[in-house]
Amino acid sequence: MSVAAKTGDSTPGRILDAALKLFNEQGAARVTTADIADAASMAEGNLHYHFRKKEHLIEALFARFQAEELRAAEQTILNPADPAAYTAYTQGWFELMWNFRCFYRDATILFIQAPQLRPHFAKTQIRARAAVARVLTLAVEHRLMRASPAQIERLVTNVWIVSSYWMDFCTANNGPKPLSRKDLAWGFGQIAALYEPYMITS
């Protein structure tokens, strides 16, 4: 995918912006290319000139998500002795989840529509989890956490499980009501609770 398709200042970018907004708000399964074209203020034929199938659009949107996820995971902790730096790091992850929530909430549906993404998704998740483990190891080195390498590995796995499925939990309990920023704050609290047993407070 070209760089232009990663941003909103081109026709492909405008299409992807519209698709992401609709996928996030309505769910990927319910959104058609006609809906996306309408949201992007263009004829559906123009959309298909850039993305022949919905599958191709999902692939391009995934490339955007993949780049943002790795950027969030592999960012540098500028002040590793400051506990607030790790809170900000985790909050950055949750902003990513909110901005691309369709890839967390609707992953199964998206993989059915674009099955070739599944191995790429798995590869990205492995790389991102390794980056998070390195950040937690940094916190241990600066005496902000107490955890062995095996404990860090288990913690990262549990964080990933909760991060991946807290939206499903909220949706199951909230019914048809859309997810809100209040739900996002709740999900962040569940992740914070996983870290608490390992934190050094004095």
Q: Where are the domains of the chain?
A: 61-198
Q: Tens of pLDDT along 183-196?
A: 999 999 999 999 99
pLDDT band of residue 9 (cuts 50, 70, 90) is low
State the average pLDDT over residues 70-92: 93
Q: What is the spatial distance between Cα 122 and Cα 45, in angstroms, rounded to a whole number?
A: 33
State the average pLDDT over residues 87-91: 92
Q: Tens of pLDDT along 115-151?
A: 998 898 899 999 999 999 999 999 999 999 999 999 9
Residue with structure tokens 């940094």? 138
DSSP 8-state class, residue 145: B
DSSP 8-state class, residue 53: S
Q: 61-198 in CATH: which number?
A: 1.10.357.10
pLDDT value at 3 more than 50: no
* Per-residue pLDDT, 193: 95
DSSP 8-state class, residue 161: H
Q: What is the spatial distance between Cα 24 and Cα 30, in angstroms, rounded to a whole number?
A: 11
Q: What is the maximum span of the chain, computed from C-alpha positions, in angstroms?
A: 63
Whole-angstrom Cα Rg for the chain: 18
* Per-residue pLDDT, 6: 44
* Per-residue pLDDT, 22: 95
